[in-house]
Structure formats: C-alpha cells, structure tokens
Amino acid sequence: MDGNEILLLGLGIQSPWELVEQRLDTDKQPHELHLQVKAERGSRYACPECGEVCPAHDFQEKTWRHLNFFQHHCYIHASVPRVKCPQHGVRLAEVPWARKGSAFTLLFEQAALALVREMPVSAAARIIEETDKRLWRVVEHYVAKAVAALDLSSVKAVGLDETASKRGQNYVTVFIDMERSDKPVLFVTPGHGKETLEAFSCCFMKAHNGAPERVLEVVCDMSAPSSRRFRDTSPMPKSPSIGSTSCRPSRGRSMRCARPRDGSSRCPSTCAGRC
C-alpha cells in the first residue's frame, strides 16, 4: 500500500474519486498539507435533487478543511462536477466527505462539535485554530437540523424556569419536558413572562406537532406575583384533573414540583416523590 492509498483510506474517499497530488506548505505556520482530489475521467454523478446519474456539465474548484495531519493543518481541494440533469438542469453534485455549503469535512465538523459540547465555542475555536464565527455556523446548522426534527406531540407536562444570562436584567427562559429524563430541554428563548409563554405554546409547540391543550401540567419557579400573573395569562389550559395550572412560588429551588390543587396530597407523576 503506497502513500496515496493510505491517505485515501484515512480520508474515506472511494471511487470515482482519487488522490492526484499532495503538497506540504512549510512557509506557513502551522504547516499546511494540501491534498488534490479528482474524479476519474468519464465518471457520471448523481443529481442532488432526484438521484439520477448524469454526465458532468462542468467543474468548480472547492476547498474544505479536514482533520489535522499530525500537527499540520490539512485541506482537501477538488474539482466538483456540476451535473446536467434532464429534469432539474445544471446542479452542483454532492461530495461524500462534506455536506453541501460547508467549508469543512464531515469528520472535521464531528470533532469540532465534540469539543463544543464540553466547552464554550470560543475555547473550542482556539484549540482547533479556527475562527469562532465559522465554528458558530457549524453549530447553528446542526442545532437547527435537530430542532427541525423535534416532535412535541407527546408532551403533557412542561417545566419552565427563568434565569439571568448575565449580570443585570438579561433573562433567558428554559422549557423542559418533565416526563423525559434524557435530553429534556425543549425550548430556550431570551426574555421572560407572557411573551416567552406565547412563543413556546403558540408558535414553537404547534410548529413541532405539539398542542397546548394537551398539556396537563405546568411546573414553574416564580415569585408569588409572577405566579399569579402566569396563571392569569398562560396560554396553557387549566386542566380539571389538577384544578388549575400548577405553579409553585420560588423558595430557592428551581423546577420544584407542584402538588395538585384538587385537595389531594398525592404528588404528580412527574415528581416521583422529590418534593
């Protein structure tokens, strides 16, 4: 196995793509390894819209940053074909190592997101030697993709809490599914009060197959005046089974479980006896 085959194996690139050139630029710090990838002559490519295999119309030069090669930055360069589809016209073909519109390979994005889960984006950007602005674009893409796939049709118990994001009056309100132990956060929005409730129940829930009228319990951590104002303005229904929307005044504990207001001493199922 020669050097090109080893690099192709590490990159995960298969036919019709092949490595035609490799160059290490030692004039830059850190050093940069540049890999030129090219498709085999006469290859046909799938249309990104319908998947039909079509001939190449022309080519566009693209560059992606890949995982470091030892301590050196690594970049993949390729002439990406634009296919001529009978149904959709000329379209830029997709490459197997990167998503559409990204300046990074999928493996680089995977490594970057693993860091972002453990530390601030600015810290992760310093480690991988990339600008935080470009890294934020990657984070926003995958967060938006995950949010778009969120299904709130089964949400029946909602917990919410408002907290200051910085010193002062910069509030953030967090909504969680009280019946989920794994990844319970549903929605986070700047601000507090009625506007955040409407943003969650009237906009976000309905956009993700949820229905405010199916929510049987709302648990929140608020002062007494805020609690009364919440019950008066909440878009959530007042379920007969619990007497009214549950809302317990704050006593230094967040997301406390509220006991039913129908006179019973039994804790709601979402509490599991924690209160």
pLDDT tens for each residue of 16-50:
888 888 899 999 989 999 999 988 878 899 999 99
Domain for residue 21, yes or no? Answer: yes
Q: What is the pLDDT of residues 119-146, one digit of tens each?
A: 999 999 999 999 999 999 999 999 999 9
Q: What is the CATH number of the domain that holds 222?
A: 3.30.420
What is the rounded CA–CA span in Å between residue 99 and residue 231?
Answer: 46
pLDDT at 255 over 70: no
193 and 217 housed in the same domain = yes
Structure tokens at 6: 């080893």
123 and 165 housed in the same domain = no
Domain for residue 267, yes or no? Answer: no
Structure tokens at 185: 């956060």
Top pLDDT among 84 and 8 is at 84
Domain for residue 261, yes or no? Answer: no
What is the rounded CA–CA span in Å between residue 58 and residue 69?
Answer: 31
Q: How many domains does the chain have?
A: 3
pLDDT bracket for residue 232 (50, 70, 90): low
24 and 6 housed in the same domain = yes
Domain for residue 271, yes or no? Answer: no
What is the rounded CA–CA span in Å between residue 35 and residue 28?
Answer: 16
116 and 183 housed in the same domain = no
240 and 208 housed in the same domain = yes
pLDDT at 228 over 80: no
Domain for residue 204, yes or no? Answer: yes
Quote the pLDDT of residue 244: 37
183 and 215 housed in the same domain = yes
Structure tokens at 268: 């709601």
Q: Which domain holds residue 116?
A: 104-149
DSSP string computed for 82-136: EEEETTTEEEEPP-TTS-TT-SB-HHHHHHHHHHHTTS-HHHHHHHHT--HHHHH
pTM of the shown model: 0.74
219 and 178 housed in the same domain = yes
39 and 83 housed in the same domain = yes
pLDDT bracket for residue 15 (50, 70, 90): confident
